[in-house]
C-alpha cells in the first residue's frame, strides 16, 4: 500500500475487488456466495473483526489481500479466498446489479 | 502559494490542505515557542451558508523533531467534532452570536488536543471551543472579543487556538504563475507583456483556518532544557505540520459513511514553497504522504531547482552569473531547506540538525525573538526565516532571492550574485501587510468578515 496514493487506492478498490466485510448490500450478496463454497464447513470462529473492517484484494492472481481492521492494516495471502471471490463475482454478475 | 493547493490531490481536499506552517520563539515570552499550522486555502469570507470548518474526519498534527532524524519526537495532535443544534434549518446561526455558547449559533466545532512523546499519549484537552467564522457584523457583532475567548490556556502549560483567522501569507500569485513575471524587472522578461511594477497582494481579503499552540521550550527540546546557547545542537528543533485521513471511506447514502484502516498522511508542510516549487508535479502527491526523513529522494530537486534554471532563460540579461553556475549543486539551498545551516557561515547563528535530509522548519530556540525584519536572516535578523518562520516573514521574496543565487556565496565565496537577485520582491512593501497580524497569540489577525469584503 505504501506506493499507492489514497486516490489510486480508492480507484483500484472500486474498479477491482474491494469488499467491505460489514454493512454493504453487495458484501452480503458475496458473503452468501462465499459461504456456499465451503465456509460453513469451518469450525466456529472464536474471535471477531472490528466494526467496519474492509478487505482489499490487491492481486487476485496471487491471492494477496490487505485487511483494514480498525486502524490496523494486515496483509496476507489466501489463494482459495481469491478464487472463491472471483467465483462469487462471476455468479453475481449474472444476477441483480447493486 | 506557500503550500496552498500545491499538489494535484490535496488541491481537491481543502480541509486537509496544510497551507502554511510557522515556528518562532514567542515575542512576549522567550521561554515559549509558538507553532502554527494553517488549513483550508483561499477562504472567501462570505462563503456561506456552510461556512468553513476543520474536518471531523481529519487528524491534524504539529510535529517536532529534536534529534535531527526527520522523525517526530513530540507531536501535538488536534481532532475536531462538529455539533449541530438544529438540523432543520439551513442557517449557520439563527441570530447574533454573542458568545461561544450562544444558543443562536447552530453549527459549532470543538476539538481535543493530545501530546504524543514516544509511546506516551496524553490528552491535554478534550472539548475546546472554536470561534465561529466571521460572517458579518449582524452575526458575530464583536468578533475580536468572541475569538479572544477561544484562546484556551491548558493546565499542562500550553496555550491553544483553533479557528478562522485572516490569511497571513502574502504573495503576488498573478506574477508568480504568469511565467514567473517578476515585477521589478518585468520589462526584461523574454515574453513581452505589460509591465506593472506595483505588486498585487492576492490573498489580502482571504481567510484561513489556523491551529496555533504556544508551548514551553523545555517541552520540546531533546533533554527537556531551555537552551540559551545558540551554538549548541540541542538548541535546534525541526517542525512540520501534517494532516491524515483514514485509508478507506465507504459512502452509504442515507446511512452514515464508515471509515476504516490506519491513518494515512495526505498533507505535509515544513518550509514554505518546498512542495510547491521544488518538487515536480509527478511527485507532489507522494511527497505529501511521506515523513521528512524520506526527503533524501528529493535532494536532486533542491540541488538543481527548476526555478533557478528558468530565471536565466526568462530573463536573458538579468541572471548571467546564475546561468554560469549551470548544474553546480546548490549546497546553499540544501543547507537552508534540508539540513539547516551549520555554524560558521553566519556569525552567531546555526540551525544545523545533521546529515539527514529532511524538509522541516529549523528553529534555534536560543535566539530570542526581538527582530521585525520581514527578510529574516537575509535582512540580518537572526530570529526570522529560515530560522523557523514568523507570520510576517516575506518568505516568497526570501526564497526567490535565495534560488536566484543570493545565498550561494555562503558555500562559494568567489561567487558574485547577479544584482537582480538582491532586488527581487514579491508583494511590496511588506510593511503594507502588517495589518494582517496581531502582536500577541495567535498572531494571525481577525479574519475578514463576509459582509464587508471585498472592501469598496
Q: DSSP states of B22-40 as a string?
A: EEEE-TT-TTEEEEEEEEE
pLDDT score for B431: 62
Nearest to A6 among B245, B250, B258 (CB): B245
Nearest to A7 among B9, B260, B261 (CB): B9
Q: With an 8 Å Cβ cutoff, is B252 touching chain A?
A: yes
Lowest mean pLDDT among A11-25, B161-175, B270-284: A11-25
* Residue linked to cell 536560543: B366
pLDDT band at residue B429 under the 50/70/90 scheme = low
ipTM of the shown complex = 0.76
Contacts of B120 by beta carbon, 8 Å cutoff, 6+ apart? none
pLDDT score for A41: 67
Average pLDDT estimate for B32-57: 97
List chain A residues with CB under 8 Å of B244: none
A72/chain B closest Cα distance in angstroms: 5
List chain A residues with CB under 8 Å of B259: 52
List chain A residues with CB under 8 Å of B250: 20, 23-24, 52, 54
Q: How far apart are alpha carbons B278 and B302 in whole angstroms?
A: 6
Please name which of A11, A1, A2, A7 lies closest in space to residue B12, comparing C-alpha atoms.
Answer: A7
DSSP letter at A53? -
List chain A residues with CB under 8 Å of B283: none
CA distances from B27 to B24, B142, B211, B439 (A): 8, 26, 18, 8
Q: What percent of chain B shows pLDDT beyond 90?
A: 87
Other CB atoms within a 10 A radius of the CB of residue B355 amount to: 9
Domain boundaries, chain B: 10-431
Contact state of B261 with A54 under an 8 Å Cβ cutoff: yes
Q: DSSP states of A68-84 as a string?
A: EETTEEEEEE-HHHHHH
Instruction: Give the end-to-end CA distance of chain A in Å, rounded to a whole number.
Output: 27
Cα B294-B10-B205 angle, rounded to 5 deg = 120
Pick B43 or A27 by higher pLDDT: B43
For residue B31, pLDDT beyond 60 = yes
Report residue A83: phi and psi, to 5°. -60, -40
For residue A5, pLDDT beyond 70 = no
Is residue B9 within 8 Å of residue B285, measured between CB atoms? yes
Other CB atoms within a 10 A radius of the CB of residue B375 amount to: 18
Residue of B nearest to A66 (CA): B261
For residue A32, pLDDT beyond 80 = no
* Best of A1, A2, A6, A70 to mutate (most B CBs within 10 Å, chain B): A6
DSSP letter at A90? H
Lowest mean pLDDT among A39-48, B267-276, B353-362: A39-48
Is residue B444 within 8 Å of residue B388, measured between CB atoms? no
For residue A12, pLDDT beyond 90 = no
Cα B158-B352-B305 angle, rounded to 5 deg = 105
User: What pairs with residue B378 in β-bridges?
Assistant: none
- Indicate whether this model's pTM tops 0.80: yes
* Residue linked to cell 487506492: A9
pLDDT band at residue A22 under the 50/70/90 scheme = very low
Is residue B282 within 8 Å of residue B253, measured between CB atoms? no
Calculate helix-pair angle for A25-37, A79-93, nearest 10 degrees: 120
pLDDT score for B211: 98
Contact state of A5 with B9 under an 8 Å Cβ cutoff: yes
For residue B154, pLDDT beyond 90 = yes
Which pLDDT tens digit goes with each residue over B208-244?
999 999 999 999 999 999 999 999 999 999 999 999 9
Q: H or E segment at B399?
A: helix B395-401
CA distances from A12 to A1, A4, A15, A56 (A): 11, 10, 5, 9
Q: How far apart are alpha carbons B356 and B220 in whole angstroms?
A: 19
Q: How far apart are alpha carbons A43 and B443 in whole angstroms?
A: 63
Is residue B186 within 8 Å of residue B196, measured between CB atoms? yes
Which pLDDT tens digit goes with each residue over A35-59?
454 555 677 878 888 888 999 999 9
Contacts of B446 by beta carbon, 8 Å cutoff, 6+ apart? B134, B143, B144, B147, B165, B166, B438
CA distances from B30 to B4, B27, B33, B227, B364 (A): 30, 6, 8, 11, 12
Amino acid at each position: 500500500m505504501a506506493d499507492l496514493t489514497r486516490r489510486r487506492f480508492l480507484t483500484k478498490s472500486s474498479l477491482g475487488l474491494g469488499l467491505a466485510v460489514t454493512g454493504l448490500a453487495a458484501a452480503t450478496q458475496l458473503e452468501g456466495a462465499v459461504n456456499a463454497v465451503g465456509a460453513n464447513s469451518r469450525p466456529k470462529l472464536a474471535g471477531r473483526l472490528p466494526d467496519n473492517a474492509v478487505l482489499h484484494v490487491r492481486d487476485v492472481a496471487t491471492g494477496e489481500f490487505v485487511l483494514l481492521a480498525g486502524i490496523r492494516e494486515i496483509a496476507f495471502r489466501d489463494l482459495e479466498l481469491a478464487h472463491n471471490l472471483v467465483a462469487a463475482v462471476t455468479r453475481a454478475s449474472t444476477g441483480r446489479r447493486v | 502559494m506557500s503550500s496552498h493547493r500545491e499538489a494535484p490531490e490535496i488541491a481537491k481536499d481543502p480541509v486537509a490542505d496544510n497551507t502554511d506552517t510557522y515556528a518562532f520563539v514567542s515575542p512576549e515570552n522567550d521561554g515559549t515557542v509558538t507553532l502554527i499550522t494553517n488549513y483550508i486555502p483561499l477562504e472567501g469570507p462570505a462563503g456561506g451558508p456552510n461556512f468553513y470548518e476543520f474536518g471531523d474526519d481529519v487528524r491534524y498534527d504539529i510535529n517536532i523533531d529534536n534529534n535531527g532524524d526527520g522523525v517526530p519526537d513530540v507531536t501535538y495532535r488536534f481532532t475536531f467534532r462538529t455539533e449541530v443544534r438544529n438540523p432543520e434549518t439551513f442557517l449557520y446561526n439563527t441570530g447574533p452570536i454573542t458568545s461561544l455558547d450562544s444558543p443562536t449559533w447552530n453549527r459549532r466545532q470543538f476539538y481535543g488536543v493530545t501530546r504524543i512523546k514516544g509511546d506516551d499519549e496524553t490528552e491535554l484537552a478534550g472539548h475546546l471551543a472554536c470561534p465561529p467564522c466571521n460572517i458579518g457584523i449582524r452575526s458575530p457583532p464583536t468578533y475580536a472579543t468572541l475569538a479572544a475567548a477561544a484562546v484556551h490556556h491548558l493546565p499542562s502549560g500550553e496555550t491553544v487556538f483553533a479557528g478562522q483567522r485572516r490569511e497571513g501569507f502574502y504573495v503576488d500569485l498573478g506574477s508568480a504563475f504568469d511565467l514567473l513575471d517578476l515585477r521589478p524587472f518585468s520589462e526584461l522578461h523574454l515574453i513581452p507583456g505589460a509591465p506593472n511594477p506595483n505588486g498585487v497582494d492576492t490573498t489580502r481579503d482571504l481567510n484561513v483556518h489556523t491551529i496555533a499552540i504556544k508551548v514551553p521550550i523545555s517541552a520540546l527540546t531533546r533533554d527537556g532544557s531551555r537552551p540559551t546557547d545558540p551554538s549548541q545542537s540541542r538548541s535546534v528543533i525541526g517542525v512540520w505540520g501534517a494532516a491524515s485521513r483514514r485509508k478507506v471511506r465507504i459512502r452509504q447514502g442515507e446511512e452514515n459513511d464508515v471509515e476504516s484502516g490506519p491513518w494515512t498522511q495526505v498533507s505535509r508542510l515544513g518550509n514554505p514553497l518546498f512542495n510547491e516549487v521544488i518538487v515536480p508535479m509527478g511527485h507532489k502527491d507522494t511527497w505529501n504522504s511521506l515523513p521528512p526523513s524520506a526527503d533524501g529522494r528529493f535532494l536532486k530537486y533542491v540541488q538543481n531547482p527548476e526555478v533557478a534554471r528558468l530565471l536565466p532563460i526568462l530573463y536573458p540579461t538579468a541572471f548571467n552569473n546564475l546561468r554560469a553556475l549551470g548544474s553546480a549543486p546548490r549546497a546553499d539551498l540544501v543547507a537552508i531547506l534540508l539540513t539547516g545551516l551549520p555554524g560558521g557561515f553566519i556569525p552567531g547563528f546555526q540551525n544545523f540538525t545533521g546529515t539527514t535530509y529532511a524538509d522541516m522548519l529549523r528553529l534555534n530556540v536560543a535566539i530570542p525573538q526581538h527582530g521585525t525584519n520581514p527578510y529574516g536572516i537575509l535582512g540580518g535578523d537572526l530570529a526570522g526565516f529560515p530560522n523557523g518562520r514568523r507570520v510576517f516573514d516575506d518568505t516568497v521574496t526570501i526564497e526567490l532571492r535565495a534560488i536566484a543565487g543570493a545565498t550561494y556565496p555562503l558555500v562559494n565565496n568567489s561567487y558574485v550574485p547577479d544584482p537582480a537577485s538582491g532586488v527581487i520582491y514579491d508583494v511590496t512593501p511588506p510593511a503594507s501587510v502588517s495589518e494582517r497580524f496581531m502582536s500577541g497569540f495567535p498572531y494571525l489577525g481577525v479574519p475578514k468578515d463576509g459582509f464587508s469584503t471585498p472592501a469598496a
